[in-house]
Structure 1
Amino acid sequence: MTKAGSPTQGRVTSDWAGLFPEFDVWRPMRLLRRIGPVVQGITLDRSTAGDGYFPTVHVHALTREFPVVSLMLGQRLIGASGLPVSIDLPRHEEAFRDAALELANQSRLPLHKTPSVQEIVGAYHSFTLEQQLKGLAPAVLEMEDSVLISAAAGIPSLVESSLALASELATSWPKARLPLWWEGAQNWLDGLTDKASDVESLSAITESQILKHKLAKVRAA
């Protein structure tokens, strides 16, 4: 519920959509566009108290069955303090234009032009390597997405380079930080290779996810 004098979610969404006409309004506070087997989004993530929002860019791979459109590679707008910026709803009108400009500057992927699948997969690779260098939890799902997106998009060279990176990282990831379902590097790589080789199944999953999440109305680049 908005405070008196604060803009509605519809107004906030419309204002942001006006600055990013390359995206479609999918739901209140969420803008999306489809790029092959991937969705790129701008989410105005509501604060816990509900009196503000965090501008956030992200992607979501349609190549796995998933109950929601996720915020993979999510980047919240970061302020000069190095902390995420929350825009209070009463300040929306005066703040959203500058916030949108800075969000576009900070985004791993371009917002005012359509990134290629190669750029998107490159962003997944960069994120995965950053996690490794920082000693954070292994980016297993992100690595999987990079392989399956490449396969679904029909780019064999990108599948090959993604699998090569997956093989390199899988042998160096600390076992204690890996998911509980992890059955070893070779089993994981074999399974991932099998999934990447079944392009027909990946296409079917992509189409079913488009229907499940009502993404047919979202423009495909």
Structure 2
Amino acid sequence: MKTDAATAKQVTADWARAFDGFDIWRPLRLLRRVGPLVQGITLDRSTSGDAYFPTVHIHALTRPFPVISLALGQRLASSSKMQESIRFTDHAEAYLDAARRLAGQARLSVDAPPTVGEVVTELRASAIAQHGMGWPPAVEEVEDSILIPSASGDRELAEEGLQLAQDLVKKWPKHRLPPDWVGEKAWITSLSMEADNVEGLRAIIESQVRAHKLAKIRQS
């Protein structure tokens, strides 16, 4: 059976105490702002609704987007590397150990806030790994790896991302690209122009903060 609102509220509060660098954004969702992005801990409900998957993730604020996404999502894993859920009925006894293990497994720190450089490194690694496994091209991860540092004022890191974009786009199978794909040259040109428009990126970030009601979320 699905858990009730009071239980979800208590579970959220418990996780917020376990990770006091994060703020409660919504039930079962914690966030903190790290420059031009948010880092989150989401207690992702199971299909049945009687359990949740502790999940760490990020979301770039440098593009208009209707929801806070679970980019670079990483769920708590068991010793056998399987995704691990916690039943709401077991929460009180299980969550502190789960929180400790999630912090140990997370590729991006959930204790001290990660740096923009660390986030970009993970985005690049994810894009390269997706290509290596034959998955659909990681277009958004590559774009975020450019626009996040650009909005932060790190032009060198953004230029490195543009170079990676040029390298990967030549390898991506054309039939796996998004239906609205504009073409290699147009994509690179558009990305470069967006990266150059730092004030425009910062305006998008401000609009996304308003749209997602993030003003009260602490910024690292």
Shorter-chain TM range is over 0.9
Q: Tell me the equivalent position of 1:110.
A: 109
Amino acid at match of 1:135: G
Offset of 1:7 from its aligned partner?
7.0
- Please list, as runs of the form range in 1=range in 2, the aligned pairs for 1:189-204 lying within 5 A after superposition: 189-204=188-203
Aligned to 2:71: 72
1:122 aligns with 2:98: no
Residues 150-169 of structure 1 correspond to what in structure 2 (within 5 A)? 150-169=149-168
TM-score (norm 1): 0.96
Q: Please say if residues 7 and 89 of structure 1, whose CA atoms lie closer than 8 Å, have aligned partners that are also in contact.
A: no
Number of the residue aligned with 1:53: 52
Partners of 2:120 and 2:19 in 1: CA distance: 22
Which string of whole-angstrom CA distances, capped at 9 and with x for unpartnered residues, describes residues 32-59 of structure 1? 0001110000000011111110000000
Which letter maps to 1:10? K
> In 2, are the aligned partners of 1:7 and 1:90 still within 8 Å (CA)?
no
**Corresponding residue number in structure 2 for 1:13:** 12
- Secondary structure at the residue paired with 2:219? coil
- Structure 2 portions without partners, runs of 5+: none
Q: Any unmatched runs of 5+ in structure 1?
A: none
Query: Deviations 1:175-213 (Å, cap 9, x if unpaired)?
Result: 111111112211111111011111111010000000110
Given that 1:24 and 1:33 are in contact with CA atoms closer than 8 Å, whether structure 2 keeps it comes out as: yes
Q: Give SS of 1:31's match.
A: strand
Q: What is the TM-score with the length of structure 2 in the denominator?
A: 0.96
CA shift digits 1:53-102 (9 cap, x unpaired): 00000000000000111111111111123221110011111111111111
Task: Please tell me the residue identity of whatever aligns with 2:3.
Answer: T
What residue in structure 2 maps to residue 98 of structure 1? 97
2:186 paired with 1:171 = no
Q: How many residues align?
A: 219
